[in-house]
């Protein structure tokens, strides 16, 4: 897929660090054409989402994929590659 896109069409890497009590609310990893027109102009929607866990010394939940009734718990070095599809 990368060979078919230009570098300026790729999103910047996003690194998130959660502090105690923080969470990422349920969401979809695709763009809303009406509210995210800049992303659409840059190259359209996401093809993949990639999560890489840097540590596993946490309390609390994991990453939940509601469509599959699946929760993946953090484990240092674990990588999740999710091919995206629009609703």
CATH architecture of 2-83: Sandwich (2.60)
- Higher confidence at residue 47 or residue 64? 64
- Higher confidence at residue 55 or residue 46? 55
Residue 70 in tokens: 């699946």
Give the three-state DSSP class for 73: coil
Give bridge partners of residue 51 from the DSSP assignment: 80
Predicted pLDDT at 70: 92
Q: Give residue limits of the domains in the chain.
A: 2-83
Per-residue pLDDT reduced to its tens digit, 63-75: 888 888 999 999 9
Predicted pLDDT at 71: 92
The model carries a pTM of 0.65
Count CB atoms within 10 A of the CB of residue 36.
13
The contacts of residue 18 (CB under 8 Å, 6+ apart) are 24, 58
Kindly state the average pLDDT of the residues 8-28.
79
């Amino acid at each position: 897929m990368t060979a078919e896109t230009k570098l300026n069409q790729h999103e910047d890497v996003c690194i998130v660090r959660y502090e105690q009590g923080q969470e990422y609310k349920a969401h979809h990893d695709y763009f809303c054409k009406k509210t995210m027109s800049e992303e659409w102009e840059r190259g359209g929607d996401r093809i993949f989402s990639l999560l890489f866990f840097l540590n596993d010394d946490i309390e609390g939940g994991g990453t939940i994929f509601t469509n599959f009734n699946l929760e993946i718990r953090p484990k240092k070095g674990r990588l999740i590659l999710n091919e995206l599809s629009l609703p």
